[in-house]
Structure formats: C-alpha cells, structure tokens
Amino acid sequence: MPQLFPALETAGHAPALRFGDRSLDYAELRAAASATAVRLAGAGRVALWATPTLESAVGAVAALVAGVPLVPVNPGSGARELAHVVADSAPELVLAAPGVELPEAFAGLPVVHPDLTPEGPLPDLPEEPGDEAPALVIYTSGTTGPPKGAVLPRRAIRATLDSLAEAWQWTGDDVLVHGLPLFHVHGLVLGVLGPLRRGGSLRHLGRFSPEGVREELAGGATVLFGVPTMYHRLAEALPADPALGKALAGARLLVSGSAALSRRDHEAITGATGQQVVERYGMTETLMNTSVRPGGPPQPGSVGTPLDGVELRLVDDGGRPVEAGDGETLGEIQVKGPNLFTEYLGRPDATEAAFDQGWFRTGDMATQDADGSVRIVGRRSTDLIKSGGYKIGAGEIENVLLEHPAVADAAVTGEPDPDLGEAVVAWIVPRDPAAPPSAQELADHVAGQLAPYKRPRTVRLREALPRNDMGKIMKKALRD
C-alpha cells in the first residue's frame, strides 16, 4: 500500500487532478505515476521543471512513489539562480512536460517526460523508503548568498498534511482550487500532495484569476488556497462581480497563507461574502506550524494556534523563552515537531545556525494571546522581503545589481504594497550620475539572472548610501 498516498490504491475512478481541460482519476494517476516511477528508480535526486501542468503533478507523485528526492525548479528561474540550483542539488535527471525546451543548465542530463497514458501491464508500485528518507529539496532565499535547499523528509509531509486535515476537517470529499506555482511548499505540498493524501481532488487554474476562482467554486470546488495577493485581487474584484461573491460565499473553506493578509482584505471579503478567510502560518523549512480553526470567531491578524504535534515558543533576543499569553510581549517564534525539515542540503553550518537546541529559529516576531493564538508582527531581519507570497533575500538581489556596469552601489529593501504585501525597492548609486540606468533595465537584469518575481518594482537613485562605522548599509535610514 502506498504510504503517502493510499488513495492511489483505493480511490478507483474518483477524480484526482485537473489542469485546464485535462484530468486524471486515481486509477489513471496510479498508472501514470507508477510508469514514471519505474524510470526514476535508483536516481539520487531528480529535478522537476515545475510548470503548472498535469505532467508536473504526475512527476512529483512519481518521485514520491519511487522514493527519489525531488527538486522542484521554478521554470521562470534566471540563468544564475538555475545554475546554482542545478550545481547544488546535482540531479541525475530532469522531469519535464513533453515539448518543453529546457535551458542550458540541464544540458547533458537525461529528460523524463511523465507518461500520462502508459500502455501495457501496470508496474507494481515500488517499495517506499522509511519516514526519514528525503522527499523534497525546496530552495528558499536567505538574507545573504544564493538560496539554500531545504531537505524535507517524508515524515514532515505526512505530519503536516495530517495535522491540517484535522484542523480543517479536510477530507476526500473536498475539491481544492488554486492557481499557485508548483515549485514551493504552498502550491506543491499543500496544494497538490494535500488533496491526493486525502483522496480528494485538485483543480488547478494554470494561472490565478478571480474569474477562474469564481468558475471553479461555482462549479463544485469546495476549498480555495491562495497567497494574500490573490485574496487582495479577489477583494478588489468583488464589488463589480456579484457572482464571485456568491461563489466565495458557497465555499466550505477559504485559506490564506505565505504572508499576512491585511485586516482590510479580511474585512472586505467577509463583508461581501459572509465568509472568513482562515490564515495558517508556515515556512519552507517547517511546513505548517499554526492555523486558525474554521468556524470560530473572526480573528483577522491571527495565524491561530499550533497544529497537532507542533510545539511553539517565543524567545527574547538572548534566546530565553518569554512569558507569552498577554497579547503584548514580543518574541521570536521557535518551533519543534514532526513537520520540520532535516537540513539545508550540503550546508551543515547553515543547518546548525538555524536551530537552538532542537528548536528551529523562524526569524518571525510575534505575540501570543491567552488562548495561544499567534500574531505575527514582523521579521527579525530587514533583509528578507515577502512579495506576492514569495520570500526574497535582499542580499541576493544586491549582488546581481552590483554586477550591472552602470551601478556603483546598491541596496534592496521591501516597502509596503497593497497588492504584493511588500514590493522590492532598489536604491542605486549610478556610476555616472548624468547617465543612470533605467528602472526597466535593472528589472530586466535581475529577472534574467534570478527570477522575475525578484525584480525591483521601484528604483530610487541616490548620490550615496548611508553606511555605519562597520561599512554596513543602514537600511532603516534609507527607508526613513
């Protein structure tokens, strides 16, 4: 019996995955995943060119069924970021939909196209590895340097999905809709593996739009997942689209995560639909930590209480636990539990620094109410930006900007933005003040090396950047 996805054996012709007008039921998914798994068997790690397609979802299930660690790759990655991910994770082959032209970074690697309609006898599902075996390596940005690969064991996936099922009464009857990318935890682990573990189904929008959400919720979907930018866009669309309001009102559950949903958007959606958006709090390294429980009183601004099996504490600057529960005392969130990653791939130094005697340091600052509810109020580091739900490290962008021939000095900060939560701002000292680089030129430069979502949305030119005695740029002074 497949351990992570028992429904592959038991759910027969119940619907499993739908992307656009193509879909697979569980029997078809089992056939496609096992036929693909056979071709992955024995590989050390495999990369997935994670376009939002049925092939990507099948490829991910195949790797998990084969017990081969999967490295989902953003198909929008720029040259430098891609070269880093490929060199760092050293995949032995690449899973990609047929017809995709893979970039140079994958040259020489065998390509496996997930076969959605395999012919011939169905291979047996392979023996799955133990719970601690690595399942996924997901790249996540830090304050400095290139992204690190968080190694997630099978145990973490199982633990997080089962604790969410309990918190949300998430069952095989649920039909999930979302338009999230498949190279991060939110869209892949929660959004694809989640429904499949429950024996329910996913309808992926390909690309998020309020119209797509309206159609699917009106047509039988019961649960919506999204980042706050998506809920903001729904809130903006509601006044002119009563059918969208009706569709949202009819959903069983609306869940937001990856960044904070503003009180204003919470209230706009509740006001127009009577529905409360449930927030949950997670991280690439920890999968899900807390969630608001549906059905309780409205709690805008709260990410709820710890999920089953998760221990959570707040610590002061010296790492000492603080007496929380008064709704005011601030501390950094540390967590422990079966939902945690095991290590950063090939980075024992970074892994060690991430833990405090077995507690993972999240870097998120929060208060806790008397009932244990957590309110996130900020981040320890000003060098991490959350834009559209994507985590972006300022240092990585600064390094790329500094390589632009027209840039003498550069700093990157995040600035509040009603749509993206935070927007990336580049502070630039041009080499030649009479001929500064254009904002478009710098955005294209960053988008080409990293990914379009990391590009600066605003460029501010300065004669010099404020630095302290140590030579470090004083970002607070910049923003003030």
Binding residues for ligand AMP, rule: CB under 6 A, are: 140, 185, 257-260, 279-284, 303, 362, 364, 376, 379, 386, 391
Q: Under 8 Å CB-to-CB from 33, ≥6 apart: which residues?
A: 8, 58, 61, 62, 65
Q: Closer to ligand MCA at the Cβ: 152 or 175?
A: 152
SS3 content of the chain, % helix, strand, coil (to 5): 30, 30, 40
* The only residue of 309, 382, 439, 453 in contact with ligand MCA, by rule CB under 6 A: 453
Q: Which two tokens stand for residue 169?
A: 């009464």
Q: Does 283 bind ligand MCA (CB under 6 A)?
A: yes
Contact in structure between 364 and 285 (CB atoms under 8 Å): no
Looking at 348-434, list the stretches that DSSP marks H as alpha helix, in order from N- to C-terminal side. Answer: 348-354, 394-402
**376 interacts with, out of ligand AMP, ligand MCA, none, CB within 5 to 8 A per kind:** ligand AMP
Work out how close the CB of 303 gets to ligand MCA at its nearest, in angstroms, rounded to a whole number: 9
**260 interacts with, out of ligand MCA, ligand AMP, none, CB within 5 to 8 A per kind:** ligand AMP
CA distances from 200 to 6, 27, 114 (A): 12, 13, 22
* The only residue of 72, 134, 187, 195 in contact with ligand MCA, by rule CB under 6 A: 187
Q: Which two tokens stand for residue 357?
A: 């005697």
Q: Does 393 bind ligand MCA (CB under 6 A)?
A: no
**452 interacts with, out of ligand AMP, ligand MCA, none, CB within 5 to 8 A per kind:** ligand MCA
* Cα dihedral value 283, 284, 287, 293, nearest 10: 30
Let me know the angle formed at the C-alpha of 248 by 244 and 249, rounded to the nearest 5 degrees.
115
Work out how close the CB of 303 gets to ligand AMP at its nearest, in angstroms, rounded to a whole number: 5
Q: Does 302 bind ligand MCA (CB under 6 A)?
A: no
Half-sphere exposure of residue 19: CA atoms within 13 angstroms, side-chain side: 17
Q: Does 49 bind ligand MCA (CB under 6 A)?
A: no
Q: Which residues face 70 on adjacent strands?
A: 46, 136
Q: Does 185 bind ligand MCA (CB under 6 A)?
A: yes
**443 interacts with, out of ligand MCA, ligand AMP, none, CB within 5 to 8 A per kind:** ligand MCA
| 77 CB neighbour count, 10 Å cutoff | 25
Q: Closer to ligand MCA at the Cβ: 206 or 321?
A: 206
The 203-222 site mask, x for binding ligand MCA (CB under 6 A), equals -----x--------------
Work out how close the CB of 110 gets to ligand MCA at its nearest, in angstroms, rounded to a whole number: 27
Let me know the angle formed at the C-alpha of 146 by 355 and 136, rounded to the nearest 5 degrees.
65
Work out how close the CB of 128 gets to ligand MCA at its nearest, in angstroms, rounded to a whole number: 24
Work out how close the CB of 60 gets to ligand AMP at its nearest, in angstroms, rounded to a whole number: 18
β-pairing verdict for 175-178 and 223-226 = parallel
| Nearest alpha-carbon partner for 425 in 451, 461, 452 | 461
β-pairing verdict for 15-19 and 22-25 = antiparallel
Work out how close the CB of 379 gets to ligand AMP at its nearest, in angstroms, rounded to a whole number: 6
The CB-nearest residue to ligand MCA is 388
Q: Under 8 Å CB-to-CB from 369, ≥6 apart: which residues?
A: 302, 325, 327, 375
| Nearest alpha-carbon partner for 329 in 381, 282, 374, 361 | 374
**76 interacts with, out of ligand AMP, ligand MCA, none, CB within 5 to 8 A per kind:** ligand MCA
At residue 416, φ and ψ (nearest 5 deg) are: -55, 140
Q: Specify the stretch interacting with ligand MCA by CB under 6 A; choose among 80-88, 164-172, 181-189, 351-359.
A: 181-189
Work out how close the CB of 186 gets to ligand MCA at its nearest, in angstroms, rounded to a whole number: 3
The 346-385 site mask, x for binding ligand MCA (CB under 6 A), equals ----------------------------------------
Intra-chain end-to-end CA distance of the chain, in Å: 59
| 89 CB neighbour count, 10 Å cutoff | 21
| 429 CB neighbour count, 10 Å cutoff | 16
The 55-94 site mask, x for binding ligand MCA (CB under 6 A), equals ---------------------x------------------
Q: Does 458 bind ligand MCA (CB under 6 A)?
A: no
Binding residue count for ligand MCA, defined by CB under 6 A: 25
Question: Which stretches of the chain bind ligand MCA, using CB under 6 A?
Answer: 76, 180-181, 184-187, 208, 227, 229-230, 257-258, 282-284, 388-390, 443-444, 447, 452-453, 455
